[in-house]
Amino acid sequence: MADASYGNPAITDALHVSGSTLPWETVHSWMRDGHMQTAWSGEGKNVPPDGTEITLKIIAFPVGSVREIVLKTGASTHHHGSYEDVLFYQIGGRRVQLCQDESGTLDAGDVSFEPHGVDHSTYQLIGGPFVEFALPAPERSGSEARGLWIKASEAREIPCAVWDNGSAEGPDTYWAPSDAKRHTRHIFSVPGHDLIETRLPAGSPTAPRRDVHDTLFYVISGTAQVTIGDATFDAVAGDSLRAPAGSAYAFTATQDAVVIQAAARKL
């Protein structure tokens, strides 16, 4: 997947993108005269002393993108908007996410949401990585156009069970056979989107699912065998995947794994 330009990689229609095949890119950003300025490595621009260093990988899919970002302790970004809705999942470290006049602190496993057109910025308290799903923004009222912060403990927890001839979720897992494989889904809901975190013990599968929109995935930790339609992939931490609308997908953890996903609406 070659870069079309600095910060704008070519769109890939791949179902599985290995994170190990993507180089880390470095960009510096700063504010001048009310406008965000950037300098990507290789552009030859001079970086002023107040330029914030951002290290990232960007995977651009046909609908939406996945961005893995690392900020050092003390790094901060200026207030800026985006052309998409952005869902943030904190992998490690700790940071403050600001949206207009509100803010929230994010630790590992926490999620925040910054809607299209609403200015936001970040201050990294403890250096570490996070992931962004940048998704098409649905129409919404002005009252919905605000940032949200959801702690891991506040996500809706759904137990799941899978066995040879069936599967169940929620209260129905009480009736699952004793040999059923069990895992947990955590749902972080914001206006127009759900970010879903699936925690799979080694050897546990998910039941096949189909979504009416393209669904993007990112493997936070562990390894899993992933089936999308007729294709099968071995995915590891740092990999991104895409299940096209209507395609069945399923995961089986080969090591304890954590996978996040979000559906990308076509507008």
Q: Do 146 and 27 share a structural domain?
A: yes
Cα 131 to Cα 197: distance, rounded to the nearest angstrom:
12
Q: Do 216 and 140 share a structural domain?
A: no
Residue 78, domain extent: 3-152
- Render each residue's pLDDT in the chain as its tens digit; 267 residues: 444 567 788 999 999 999 999 989 998 988 888 777 888 888 888 888 888 899 999 999 999 999 999 999 999 888 877 889 999 999 999 999 998 888 999 999 999 999 988 888 899 999 999 999 999 987 766 666 788 999 999 999 999 999 998 999 999 999 999 999 999 999 999 988 999 999 999 999 999 999 999 999 999 999 999 999 999 999 999 999 999 999 999 999 999 999 999 998 765
SS3 state of residue 13: coil
Cα angle 114-119-149, degrees, rounded to a multiple of 5: 30
- % helix, strand, coil for the chain, step of 5: 5, 55, 40
Q: Do 78 and 23 share a structural domain?
A: yes
Q: Do 38 and 52 share a structural domain?
A: yes
Q: Do 129 and 160 share a structural domain?
A: no
Of 193, 205, 201, 207, the C-alpha closest to 263 is 193
Domain termination site, one of 152, 179, 207: 152
**Rounded to whole angstroms, what are the CA distances from 86 to 54, 146, 257?**
17, 12, 24
Q: Do 144 and 105 share a structural domain?
A: yes
Say what the pTM is: 0.93
Could you tell me if 131 and 260 are in contact, meaning their C-beta atoms sit under 8 angstroms apart?
Answer: yes
Q: Do 174 and 146 share a structural domain?
A: no
User: For the domain that residue 217 is a member of, what is the CATH number?
Assistant: 2.60.120.10
